């Protein structure tokens, strides 16, 4: 009974030769149409995922996902991630007027200061390329959309993945040979990355900008002058650290938690060898990892982007875990909107410490800064860089301020008024 409809139609009369001919033509047309639709969908879908092979045509649309490239040359030098896997990077070729210019961005992600924390880290993308995304989306300062990234949209852009746990500054001499299977090769990774990128065209750069966020921002401080030294003498080379200006400030109990943490990182991974040796010779090496000391001797023009109420620093330096057993800061350390008047006063003190630590650099004629009053961390690689909702100082976005500085359009040293004066801030809320 399920086929009665079909039978009622075709059994009314016996089909003649002409009927079969018409049906054959109709079926042929339908099949051809279906094939056309399938082919169109396949070509369209593939065209969205396939990288263009030549920059002669229009560049890929903004927000394209950029594939991961593993650094095969690292095998020869032993430049491995914490777990012994190959390090990686994402490279998007420049086009047009930006084809000879380069922007490198070093990924952030904290540090590991013990065998236990490094062992845990090697089971993540911050310690092993086995866990890294095969594609990442470029946005903010890495965007190819001129409306989001007006000055650097068409440059060659590289995102360096972070997998050594010590801001690209660890040394193998500090590795333990007792079966822990941890590789402290950050400095070797930096050198291998540079060699790779130089071979891809960085060696002929006309303009270049080294940037990084958080731990990547600290790596930018550490490696800025070395980056400058490896590029052509007539190239314009500058550096920018985003949320990398970490302070050596006491926590709410008076303990110097960050100083002790960095001391462990230095001892574990031999980081002192990558720091400025004149500084290491004058004071305790751990103090030389703080940007306030590094920036004194950096010769390359530098720009500092940092919120005065850096959310990571408030949560980990001012009010680290264990410093607030009664839970008085439990909400405030995660959201500035939930701080009472007494807590805000303490946060204003942290802002004062940030500005004091930057005071000498503020007099640097080649330097630039954008210190807003937002409760945030890492702003340049997201929409905060340049969009209708970006935080502004004197009606300027970070992108506009950095562009003014890089291209010498005008001096760019912007310091925001204290919280909560800036309505353009989109403050983080981790509660």
CA 288 to CA 277: how far, in whole Å? 9
* pLDDT confidence of residue 50: 29
What lies within 8 Å, CB to CB, of 127 at 6+ separation is: 81, 82, 83, 112, 118, 121, 163, 164, 165
CA 28 to CA 16: how far, in whole Å? 19
**Given 310, 373, 376, 401, the catalytic residue:** 310
Asked if 247 contacts 290 with a C-beta cutoff of 8 angstroms, the reply is yes
Asked if 105 contacts 211 with a C-beta cutoff of 8 angstroms, the reply is yes
Tens of pLDDT along the chain (431 residues)? 333 333 333 333 334 434 434 444 344 433 343 333 332 223 223 332 323 322 333 344 445 899 999 999 999 999 999 999 999 999 999 999 999 999 999 999 999 999 999 999 999 999 999 999 999 999 999 999 999 999 999 999 999 999 999 999 999 998 876 567 899 999 999 999 999 999 999 999 999 999 999 999 999 999 999 999 999 999 999 999 999 999 999 999 999 999 999 999 999 999 999 999 999 999 999 999 999 999 999 999 999 999 999 999 999 999 999 999 999 999 999 999 999 999 999 999 999 999 999 999 999 999 999 999 999 999 999 999 999 999 999 999 999 999 999 999 999 999 999 999 999 999 999 99
* pLDDT confidence of residue 337: 97
List, for residues 109-133, the tens digit of each pLDDT value.
Answer: 999 999 999 999 999 999 999 999 9
* pLDDT confidence of residue 64: 81
How deeply is 61 buried, as exposed, middle or buried, from its count of CB atoms within 10 A (0-12, 13-18, 19+)?
Answer: exposed
Give, rounded to a whole angstrom, the gap between the first and last alpha carbons of the chain: 63
What residues does 335 pair with on adjacent strands? Answer: 429
What lies within 8 Å, CB to CB, of 20 at 6+ separation is: none
> Which residue, chain included where needed, has tokens 């690292």?
74
List, for residues 5-21, the tens digit of each pLDDT value.
Answer: 333 333 333 344 344 34
Q: Which domains does the chain have, with CATH numbers?
A: 64-415 (3.40.50.1820)
**Given 85, 129, 167, 214, the catalytic residue:** 214
What lies within 8 Å, CB to CB, of 331 at 6+ separation is: 338, 339, 431
Instruction: Please state the φ and ψ torsions of residue 157, each to the nearest 5 degrees.
Output: -130, 135
What residues does 103 pair with on adjacent strands? Answer: 157, 209
Strand 236-242 and strand 302-305: the pairing is parallel
CA 376 to CA 363: how far, in whole Å? 26
User: Among positive and negative, which fits the CA dihedral 347, 350, 352, 355?
Assistant: negative
> Which residue, chain included where needed, has tokens 């420049």?
94
* pLDDT confidence of residue 3: 38
**Given 105, 171, 377, 386, the catalytic residue:** 377
Neighbouring C-alpha atoms within 13 Å toward the C-beta of 16 = 1
* pLDDT confidence of residue 321: 92
Give which of 230, 234, 212, 208 is closest to 222, Cα–Cα.
212
Q: Is 310 a catalytic residue?
A: yes
């Amino acid at each position: 009974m399920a086929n009665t409809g079909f039978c009622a139609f075709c059994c009314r009369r016996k089909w003649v030769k002409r009927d079969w001919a018409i049906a054959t033509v109709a079926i042929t047309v339908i099949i051809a149409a279906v094939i056309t639709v399938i082919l169109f969908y396949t070509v369209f879908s593939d065209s969205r995922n396939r990288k263009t092979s030549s920059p002669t045509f229009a560049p890929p649309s903004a927000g394209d996902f950029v594939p991961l490239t593993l650094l095969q040359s690292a095998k020869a030098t032993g430049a491995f991630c914490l777990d012994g896997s190959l390090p990686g990077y994402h490279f998007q070729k420049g086009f047009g007027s930006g084809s000879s210019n380069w922007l490198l961005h070093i990924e952030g992600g904290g540090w590991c200061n013990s065998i236990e924390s490094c062992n845990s880290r090697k089971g993540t993308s911050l310690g092993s390329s086995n866990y890294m995304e095969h594609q990442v989306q470029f946005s903010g300062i890495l965007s190819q959309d001129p409306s989001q990234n007006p000055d650097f949209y068409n440059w060659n852009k590289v995102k360096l993945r972070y997998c050594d746990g010590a801001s690209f500054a660890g040394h193998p001499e500090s590795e333990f040979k007792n079966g822990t299977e941890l590789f402290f090769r950050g400095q070797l990774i930096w050198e291998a990355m540079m060699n790779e990128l130089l071979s891809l065209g960085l060696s002929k750069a006309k303009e270049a900008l080294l940037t990084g966020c958080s731990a990547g921002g600290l790596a930018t401080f550490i490696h800025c002058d070395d980056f400058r030294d490896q590029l052509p003498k007539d190239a314009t080379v500058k550096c920018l650290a985003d949320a990398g200006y970490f302070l050596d400030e006491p926590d709410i109990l008076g303990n110097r938690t960050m100083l002790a943490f960095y001391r462990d990182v230095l001892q574990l991974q031999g980081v002192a060898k990558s720091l400025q040796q004149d500084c290491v010779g004058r004071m305790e090496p751990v103090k030389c990892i703080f940007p306030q000391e590094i920036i004194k001797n950096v010769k390359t023009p530098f720009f500092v982007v940092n919120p005065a109420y850096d959310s990571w620093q408030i949560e980990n330096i001012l009010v680290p875990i264990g410093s607030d057993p009664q839970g008085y800061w439990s909400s405030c350390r995660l959201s500035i909107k939930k701080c009472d008047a007494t807590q805000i006063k303490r946060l204003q003190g942290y802002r004062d410490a940030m500005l004091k630590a930057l005071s000498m650099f503020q007099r640097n004629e080649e330097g630039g800064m954008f210190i807003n009053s937002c409760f945030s961390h890492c702003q340049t690689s997201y929409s905060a860089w340049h969009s209708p909702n970006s935080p502004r100082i004197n009606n300027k976005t970070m992108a506009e301020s950095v562009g003014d500085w890089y291209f010498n359009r005008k001096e760019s040293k912007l310091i925001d008024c204290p919280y909560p004066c800036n309505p353009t801030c989109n403050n983080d809320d981790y509660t």
